[in-house]
């Protein structure tokens, strides 16, 4: 297991071709790393020794779990000794997954997410791409790509780091959170007013004894072939890469096939609805869009969808989306109000295949 050394380790992963499981090759740098001190860090290669990072089992909106790890009684950060992926993880798309894959190759993988950015920066509120309660399920599905380790998401209040310059931010990761290494994309920006870039991240990690791993962007193969939904690409330094903005545009266009390619999974919408408000007539269920916890695709008719109710098997369905409602037409009468729990609220999942 490797930790920081006299020089920062920089690895560049080539994603000019669509990523495929097991086909990625790292170009190892000539930098030499020293082993982590046994006194300061837990070993990472043995899953039994990861006391601060246990793989969540089947965590999703329909099972209970802690929202975020707490500090231990000793005040040790939950990500201490881990490899932290840095980025904005709104969509949890295949580019984000690639960061987690690289982190898992090195040690215990974490995603570092910031909460409260919209409120602090005064952005207009908008629905998330992935429902908050569904994020652990998505991360658990990445385990097969990450050496059977599900990455754990660690949240930091954006207000607590907003005014940190790049050096202060890396210092916080090193001294307060005691991370062993970081993974970031080549276009990563950080620090106050995004003043730091990937090259500065490498330099600062070297200064604070943290390993740094920079990977190439995962490119959108549809963009390469000329298919695009984003006018912003012509102005962006991130032209052609998979991004959360690209996912939002594809959802708005109703292209769920394209969304599936960008996410690496079918898009799942979660509805939190009072059982008494579910309108069910025969094979047709009506849900108000106000009950949705994340962003649905644009108005239209979607076939080959699935309805997920608790831990029951998915029910094949067709979904009609308009501005106010989701109309779900099942192929068989397997959903009845009497089948659901007697709790006041019910969580329903609708997957768009």
Please give the average per-residue pLDDT across 277-294, as a whole number.
86
Residue 208 backbone dihedrals phi, psi, to 5 degrees: -100, 10
Tally of CB atoms within 10 A around 7: 17
Please give the average per-residue pLDDT across 4-8, as a whole number.
37
- Kindly report the average pLDDT of the chain as a whole number: 79
pLDDT of residue 87: 92
pTM score > 0.85 for this model? no
pLDDT category at 333 given cuts 50, 70, 90 is low
pLDDT of residue 313: 82
Please give the average per-residue pLDDT across 191-207, as a whole number.
96
pLDDT exceeds cutoff 70 at 199 = yes
Alpha carbons 351 and 18: distance in angstroms, whole number: 24
Alpha carbons 281 and 336: distance in angstroms, whole number: 9
pLDDT of residue 283: 82
pLDDT category at 57 given cuts 50, 70, 90 is very low
Residue with tokens 């604070």: 208
pLDDT of residue 116: 83
pLDDT exceeds cutoff 60 at 78 = yes
Task: Quote the Cα angle for 253-285-279, to 5°.
Answer: 125
Higher pLDDT, 282 or 79: 79
Tally of CB atoms within 10 A around 226: 6
pLDDT exceeds cutoff 60 at 55 = no
pLDDT exceeds cutoff 50 at 20 = no
pLDDT of residue 274: 84
For 224-233, 255-264, 286-295, 315-324, which range has the lowest pLDDT when averaged over its residues?
A: 224-233
Tally of CB atoms within 10 A around 237: 9
């Amino acid at each position: 297991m490797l930790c920081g050394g006299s020089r920062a380790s920089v690895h560049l992963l080539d994603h000019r071709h669509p990523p495929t499981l097991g086909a990625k090759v790292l170009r190892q740098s000539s930098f030499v790393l020293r082993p982590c001190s046994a006194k300061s860090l837990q070993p990472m290669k043995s899953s039994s020794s990861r006391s601060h990072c246990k793989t969540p089992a089947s965590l999703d909106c329909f099972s209970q779990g802690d929202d975020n790890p707490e500090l231990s009684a000793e005040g040790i950060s939950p990500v201490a000794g881990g490899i932290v992926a840095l980025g904005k993880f709104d969509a949890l798309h295949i580019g984000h997954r690639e960061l987690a894959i690289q982190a898992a190759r090195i040690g215990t993988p974490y995603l570092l997410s910031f909460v409260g950015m919209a409120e602090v920066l005064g952005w207009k509120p908008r629905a998330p791409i992935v429902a908050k309660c569904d994020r652990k399920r998505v991360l658990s599905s990445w385990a097969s790509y990450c050496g059977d380790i599900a990455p754990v998401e660690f949240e930091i209040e954006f207000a607590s780091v907003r005014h940190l310059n790049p050096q202060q931010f890396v210092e916080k990761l090193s001294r307060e959170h005691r991370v062993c290494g970081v993974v970031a994309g080549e276009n990563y920006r950080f620090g106050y007013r995004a003043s730091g870039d990937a090259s500065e991240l490498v330099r600062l990690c070297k200064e604070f004894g943290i390993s740094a791993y920079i990977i190439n962007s995962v490119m959108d193969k549809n963009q390469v072939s000329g298919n695009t939904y984003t006018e912003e690409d012509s102005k962006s330094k991130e032209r052609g890469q998979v991004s959360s903005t690209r996912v939002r545009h594809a959802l708005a266009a109703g292209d769920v096939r394209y969304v599936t390619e960008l996410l690496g999974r079918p898009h799942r919408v979660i509805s939190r609805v009072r059982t008494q408000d579910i309108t069910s007539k025969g094979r047709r269920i009506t849900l108000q869009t106000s009950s949705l916890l994340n962003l649905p695709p644009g108005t239209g008719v979607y076939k080959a969808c699935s309805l997920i109710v608790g831990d029951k098997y998915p029910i094949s369905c067709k979904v009609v989306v308009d501005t106010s409602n989701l109309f779900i037409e099942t192929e068989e009468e397997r959903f009845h109000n009497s089948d659901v729990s007697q709790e006041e609220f019910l969580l329903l999942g609708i997957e768009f295949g």
